[in-house]
C-alpha cells in the first residue's frame, strides 16, 4: 500500500469508536482560517537536575501544562453533484437548497497547541484552525477558553492564537538548530481525542521536506515518537523540557502512526510567531532565482567536487540576484554564512531574512568561489494567508 503524507488534525464529526478493538476511525482534517517583535514573555525552564534515565516523569510534569487541546467549528460546503448542469440531480443529491444556494453543514475538528507566553499566546498548525469560525482551547487544568486568531500562515502551516488568561505555564523555546539526529524527544498532544498523551522517540532526521502544500516552507524534524491524528500543533520537546518542534504531519499508508512523523522546527516557528504577532502576516524575502538539485551528474558537468548546494537554473531579470551578478549554473553553497545543503535549505534561509535587508552569498562558478552581496526584495502577497 502506497504511503501518503497526512496532516494530523482530525475532523471529529466523522469519528466513531469500535469497542471490540478500541479503534478510532477518523478523517484527516484538510480545512483551511484567519487574521506582532513580540517581546514574547516565556518563563525560564526550571532546572531539572540529574536526568533520570529510567523515567521522563519530571520532564512531563514541567511541560504538560503548556500543551492544550484545540476544538474548532466551521461551515463546510457539500461537494457538487456529479452532474452540476442538471438541476434535478443537484436537488436530488442535495448540494443546493431551495434557493439554489450551496448547502453547508457545521464541521467540528480537533487538534493540539502549545502555550508560548504567560499572557496567552498559543502556537498551533494552520490546518488545525483553517476554516473555523469558533475556536476553543481546553487547558490542562480543566478550563475551556475561547481563542481568537492573531494570524495564520499557510506556507509554514503555523498559526498564532490568543486566549484571555495570564496565569499560564508556557514552554521555553529551544534552539532547534542544535538538535542532533539521535536526540531523545517527547511528543505531547491529544491524539484521536483520547486526552493528553505523551510518546517518546528520537530525532530520526533533520531538514526534511514533504511538499504537501503549495509554496510550502518546510525544514521538518523527523521523529519516530508516535504521532497520530489530533497531535497536530502539539509539542515536540527535548530532555531539557524545551520546545524544539510543532508536530504537523505523518507519513502513513493508512492514516495511522508507523514511526515517521514530522515537526516544524522551533526556530522557524519563532520567526513566524513574531511576524504574526507584529503584522498579522509573514513577510518573506525574495532572491529572484529558480533553483534545482545538485545531482552527481550535474556536479560533474559543472566541475563541482560534491553535491552540496543549490544550482541556479534561471535568474529573473531585474531581480536582487540579477543585480548582484548571479548567473545560471552558479552553485549557491552558503547564505549569510550558513551552509546551503540543498535547494530547500536555500529557500528557507532566504525566507527567514527581512525584505530590504542585505545578505551575502557564496557561489561556485567555473571552478572558482565568489562572494556576492545582495539586497533582498519581498515575496508579493499574491493571496491572503488567512
368 included as an active-site residue: no
For 65, the grid coordinates are 501544562
Question: Residue 219 in contact with residue 179, Cβ under 8 Å?
Answer: no
85 phi and psi angles, rounded to 5 deg: -85, -10
Give dist(CA 149, CA 122) in Å, integer.
10
Question: Residue 117 in contact with residue 139, Cβ under 8 Å?
Answer: no
Burial (CB < 10 A; 0-12, 13-18, 19+), residue 101, is exposed
Given 112, 117, 127, 176, which residue is catalytic? 127
127 included as an active-site residue: yes
Give dist(CA 259, CA 267) in Å, integer.
23
Q: Which residue has the cell 534545482?
A: 292
Question: Residue 304 in contact with residue 176, Cβ under 8 Å?
Answer: no
Query: In the chain, which residue ranges form alpha helices assigned H by DSSP?
Result: 57-63, 87-93, 126-129, 266-279, 296-302, 320-324, 343-351
Strands 172-173, 242-252: parallel, antiparallel or unpaired by DSSP?
Answer: parallel
Contacts of 16 (CB under 8 A, 6+ apart): 24, 25
Given 95, 138, 153, 157, which residue is catalytic? 157
341 included as an active-site residue: no
63 phi and psi angles, rounded to 5 deg: -95, -25
Given 232, 248, 252, 353, which residue is catalytic? 232
Q: Which residue has the cell 499566546?
A: 121
218 in the Ramachandran plot: left (φ > 0), alpha (ψ -120 to 50) or beta? beta
**Residues assigned a catalytic role:** 127, 157, 232
Amino acid at each position: 500500500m502506497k504511503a501518503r503524507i497526512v496532516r494530523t488534525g482530525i475532523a471529529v464529526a466523522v469519528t466513531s469508536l469500535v469497542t471490540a478493538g478500541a479503534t478510532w476511525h477518523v478523517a484527516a482534517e484538510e480545512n483551511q482560517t484567519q487574521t506582532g517583535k513580540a517581546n514574547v514573555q516565556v518563563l525560564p525552564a526550571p532546572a531539572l537536575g540529574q536526568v533520570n534515565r529510567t523515567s521522563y516523569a519530571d520532564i512531563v510534569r514541567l511541560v504538560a501544562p503548556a500543551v492544550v487541546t484545540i476544538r474548532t467549528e466551521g461551515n463546510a460546503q457539500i461537494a457538487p453533484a456529479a452532474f452540476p448542469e442538471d438541476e434535478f440531480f443537484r436537488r436530488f443529491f442535495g448540494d443546493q437548497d431551495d434557493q439554489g444556494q450551496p448547502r453547508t453543514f457545521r464541521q467540528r475538528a480537533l487538534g493540539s497547541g502549545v502555550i508560548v507566553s504567560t499572557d496567552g499566546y498559543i502556537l498551533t498548525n494552520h490546518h488545525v484552525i483553517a476554516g473555523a469560525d469558533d475556536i476553543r482551547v481546553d487547558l490542562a487544568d480543566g478550563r475551556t477558553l475561547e481563542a481568537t486568531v492573531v494570524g495564520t500562515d499557510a506556507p509554514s502551516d503555523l498559526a498564532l492564537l490568543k486566549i484571555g488568561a495570564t496565569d499560564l505555564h508556557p514552554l521555553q523555546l529551544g534552539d532547534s538548530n542544535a538538535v542532533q539526529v539521535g536526540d531523545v524527544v517527547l511528543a505531547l498532544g491529544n491524539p484521536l481525542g483520547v486526552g493528553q498523551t505523551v510518546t517518546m522517540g528520537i530525532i530520526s532526521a533533520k531538514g526534511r521536506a514533504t511538499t504537501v502544500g503549495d509554496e510550502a516552507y518546510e525544514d521538518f524534524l523527523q521523529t519516530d515518537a508516535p504521532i497520530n491524528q489530533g497531535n497536530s500543533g502539539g509539542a515536540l520537546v527535548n530532555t531539557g523540557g524545551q520546545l524544539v518542534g510543532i508536530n504537523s504531519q505523518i507519513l502513513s499508508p493508512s492514516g495511522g502512526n508507523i514511526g515517521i512523523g514530522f515537526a516544524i522546527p522551533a526556530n522557524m516557528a519563532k520567526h513566524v510567531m513574531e511576524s504574526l504577532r507584529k503584522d498579522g502576516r509573514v513577510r518573506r524575502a525574495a532572491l529572484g532565482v529558480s533553483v534545482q538539485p545538485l545531482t552527481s551528474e550535474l556536479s560533474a558537468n559543472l566541475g563541482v567536487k560534491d553535491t552540496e548546494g543549490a544550482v541556479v537554473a534561471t535568474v529573473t531579470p531585474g531581480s536582487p540576484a540579477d543585480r548582484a551578478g548571479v548567473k545560471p549554473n552558479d552553485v549557491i553553497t552558503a547564505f549569510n554564512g550558513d551552509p546551503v545543503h540543498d535547494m530547500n535549505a536555500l529557500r528557507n534561509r532566504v525566507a527567514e531574512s527581512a525584505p530590504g535587508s542585505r545578505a551575502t552569498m557564496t557561489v561556485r562558478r567555473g571552478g572558482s568561489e565568489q562572494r556576492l552581496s545582495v539586497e533582498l526584495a519581498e515575496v508579493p502577497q499574491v493571496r491572503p494567508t488567512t
